[in-house]
Structure 1
Amino acid sequence: MLEKDFSRSNLSLEANLKSVIGNGISTQFWVDFWIGTGPLKDCFKDLFRLANNKNATVSEYFQQGSPGQWVLQWVREPVTAQELQQVCDLQQLLSGVMCTNKKDGWVWKGAEDTPLSVAFVRTKIQAVDYQNEVEWPLWNKWISPKINIFCWRASMNRIASKESLTHRGILVGDTLCPRCGMCEESTIHLLWDCFFAKSVWWEIFIWLKIPFPVQVSSFQQILGVALGMNGSNRWKKLIGAIMQVAAWEIWKARNEKIFKERNVHFIRTADVIKEESFLLVSSRSNLCNLVWDRWKEFNIRDVML
């Protein structure tokens, strides 16, 4: 599945996965990205052409000893000025690098401190998916990227609802909504039409003191409520941020039911939306005077001026 996602997003696995050298057994010296700014075959093209074994592992070129040393093998010795300069540059790059008894590991380029996992790689693919599509006008910097990406995907019916999974040929058994059991679980049903979702939204709209939409036929309409409101751009951005947080928390509550068989009460979900949106907006926006006591009553219009 990840291979298809990489192909669709044109994201290069080779260019982004970096090996953390241990014993060097599972890392190719020339082909893999493990040192410098990229694979050595791209950084030292003349030397790569001279390499005796272009698929050699790092361990094959490193001789253990005290100290260990790098011994490269060529089809012929480097002789031209450019080749000799690349040899010097490569030796300088390898200086101080040694193999150990540990296994090689892998990290994502630019996120070396983050443990590599399928979930992490998938977030990178989703981020590229976003960049490859027409720019989504509702991207909101006051909330986290994962919430933005979720809502963007939901607006295109690309979240893993039962209906969506069935259309992809994935067997899910019963396609009815796990909450109400009355309708097929589509994106718009689980995020709006379901009694649970609508109850959550009712609480949120009352809290925001804005009219509850009478007719909603798509998820984009829900997120577009903020754009149709009177007020400043900052006010619309704030309402839009809360709408996206609400959709995200409704999705999380649905997953609690699906995967943990845990029923989260709609009042609890509404409370979490208020808390989570406060934490995100107060930490990510330039609204400096937000306080919880006023936020929970949503008495903050003067702060937006």
Structure 2
Amino acid sequence: MNIPQQASWMVRKIMEARKTIQQLPEVKQRQSVIKQIYLGLLGNHNKVAWGALMFHNEARPKSVFTMWIQCHGRMLTADRLTKWGIQVNPRCNLCNSADESHMHLFGECSFSRAVWCRLLKWLQMCDASVIPWTQMVTWVIIQSKGKSCKARILKMIYAEYIYGIWKERNNRIFEEKSRNAEQIAREVACICNIRAQG
């Protein structure tokens, strides 16, 4: 059926949606028609490993969003900006010992590791601080699955940690202000403590 030209934009959208739905496989059961249509439109996608970190995370929305960008590897670190032809200082502003990259900033940087180790100590998980960062993310994902209090707090701590490191990096670059690892760890712990109680 052709869509009339004089139809409003809303009618045209409905008619286009009708064509899309008609192309979907036939609905088998009458009880869950909407669910079957939704799943048909959604398509088959693999579940991401870090999905457990995102859902039911009680961290601040800006922290969860920053963590989502970090999980996608899309943080605008110096190495990415350089690839785009933007002239930036390639050194890590947190430790000044290596070039800034996604992996370095959140895992290999001595400053970031110091913050993470303090947070794990606060959680009484000191034995996990010796795990390499590539395995640490997997460890956090595994530990944060489920609805236990420990899983909820670890999800929140991880999101606030990512945000805290990113914020400190930006403060050092754009505002020329800096704090030490202890101050950042205390701020993250305080935020998580307040949000866990409320």
Task: Pick one of 150, 160, 170 that aligns with 2:76.
Answer: 160
- What is the correspondence of 1:40-59 to structure 2 with a 5 Å cutoff? 41-43=8-10
TM-score, length-normalised on structure 1?
Answer: 0.45
Rg larger for: 1
Q: Distance in 2 between matches of 1:264 and 1:157?
A: 25
The aligned counterpart of 2:129 is 213
Output the amino acid matched with 1:255. Answer: N
Partner residue, 1:180: 95
Deviation, 1:214, is 2.0
Check the 8 A contact 1:223/1:240 in 2, yes or no.
no
2:54 counterpart SS class: coil
* TM-fit CA distance, 1:209: 0.6
C-alpha distance in 2, partners of 1:230/1:140?
10
Once the 2 structures are TM-superposed, how far is the Cα of residue 216 of structure 1 from its aligned partner? 1.9
Q: 1:137–1:228: structure 2 CA closer, same or farther, 3 Å change rule?
A: closer
Root-mean-square deviation over aligned CA pairs:
2.9
For 1:198 and 1:277, how far apart are their aligned partners in 2? 19
Give the equivalent residue in structure 2 for 1:18.
Answer: none
Question: How far 1:228 moved relative to its partner?
Answer: 3.9
Q: Is the 8 A contact 2:69 2:75 kept in 1?
A: yes
Structure-to-structure mapping, 1:206-245, within 5 angstroms: 206-210=121-125, 211-218=127-134, 221-222=136-137, 224-225=139-140, 227-228=142-143, 233-245=148-160
- Name structure 2 gaps, 5 residues minimum: 1-6, 13-44
Larger relative contact order (CA 8 Å, sep ≥ 6): 2
Q: Is the 8 A contact 1:227 1:236 kept in 2?
A: no
**Per-residue deviation, 1:237:** 2.3
Residue 43 of structure 1: CA displacement?
A: 4.7
Q: Distance in 2 between matches of 1:246 and 1:262?
A: 18
State whether structure 2 residue 188 is matched by structure 1 residue 273.
yes
CA-to-partner distance for each residue in 1:90-112, whole Å, 9 max, x for gaps?
Answer: xxxxxxxxxxxxxxxxxxxxxxx
Kindly, what percent of the aligned residue pairs are identical?
21
C-alpha distance in structure 2 between counterparts of 1:268 and 1:216, whole Å: 24
How many Å separate the matches in 2 of 1:166 and 1:194?
19
**Are the aligned partners of 2:67 and 2:162 in contact in 1 as well (CA < 8 Å)?**
yes
Is residue 180–residue 194 contact of structure 1 (8 Å, CA) maintained in 2?
yes
Among residues 116, 125, 137, which one is paired with 1:201 in the alignment? 116
- Tell whether 2:162 aligns with 1:247: yes
Number of equivalent positions: 156
Residues in 2 aligned to 1:155 and 1:137: alpha-carbon distance in whole angstroms: 12
Matched ranges for 1:291-302 at <5 A = none
Counterpart AA for 2:122 = W
Q: Which has the higher helix share?
A: 2
Q: Distance in 1 between matches of 2:100 and 2:186?
A: 24
| Mapped contact 1:229–1:236 kept (Cα < 8 A) | yes
> Structure 1 regions of 5+ residues with no counterpart?
1-39, 46-131, 284-305
Q: Which runs of 4+ in 1 moved over 6 A?
A: 229-232
Q: Please give the per-residue CA displacement for 1:67-96, whole angstroms capped at 9, x wherever unaligned.
A: xxxxxxxxxxxxxxxxxxxxxxxxxxxxxx
Contact 2:144 2:152 in 1 (8 A): no
Corresponding residue SS for 1:224? helix
Distance 1:209 1:231, change over 3 A: farther
Task: Give the drift of 1:226.
Answer: 5.8
